[in-house]
Amino acid sequence: MAAAGVPVVWTAGSGVTLSSGTTTADGTGSAAVTVSATRMGAGTATVTGCVWSTVCASWTVTAVDSSQWRVEAGTGASQSVSAGTTLAAVTLNVTDTAGHALQGAAVSLYQTADGWEGTCVVPGRCAASPVLASAQSSAISDANGSVTVTPLEVPGLPQVVNIAAVTGTQGFVAVSLPVTP
C-alpha cells in the first residue's frame, strides 16, 4: 500500500538548490522536488529524500563542463518539401562527449530562409540567393536533452531554411531544409 501524505525531507550537497526542503507523498506514494545545479564546478553532488527519518533514497548530480557539450540533429533534419507544404519541427539532441543526454543546457538558435537558387547554369560563381527572413532565439534542453525547433519559413515560396545551433563552448550543428518549387 502506498504511503500517501507522508512528508519527505530533502537535502542536497554543495552547488545544488532544491525547490523545497519538504514535500508530501501523493496518492501513489511518490514525491518530487525540483533540483537546480548551480555553481557546481566540475564535480558531483548528492540529493537525498527521507521519510520517517530513516528510509532514504539518494541521487547523484554530475556537472558536465560546457566544453564537453555537443548538439546533433535528430528527427526532421533530413526533410524536403514542396512550396506550399509546411516543414515539420526539427529535434536537436544535446549530449556530453560520452553520449549522455544533458538536461537544462542552453542552446542558441540561428535561422535564415534563403530564396531558392536552383542549379547554377553557368560554371563558376553563381549569384547568392537573397535572405528572405532571419531569426535568432534560444532554448533549454528538456529532460531527454532535446530541443524542438520550428523552422522559419516564408509561406508559399521555394527556399532553403538554414538552422544553426550552438551549445556550450564546442557544440555546433547546422541543418539545411529545402522547400522546392
Assigned C-alpha cell, 154: 516564408
Residue 30, pLDDT above cutoff 70: yes
Give the integer Cα–Cα distance in Å for 174 and 68: 18
Assign 123 a pLDDT band (cuts: 50, 70, 90). confident
Quick one: which of 65, 102, 97, 93 has its CA closest to 165? 93
Q: How many residues does the chain have?
A: 181
Quick one: which of 153, 154, 175, 156 has its CA closest to 164? 175
pLDDT of residue 15: 83
pLDDT of residue 142: 93
CATH class of 66-180: mainly beta
Q: What is the model's pTM?
A: 0.76
Quick one: which of 80, 90, 85 has its CA closest to 157? 85
Q: Where are the domains of the chain?
A: 7-62, 66-180
Count of alpha carbons within 13 Å of 179, Cβ hemisphere only?
23
64-110 per-position pLDDT tens digit: 888 999 999 999 999 999 999 999 999 999 999 999 999 889 999 99
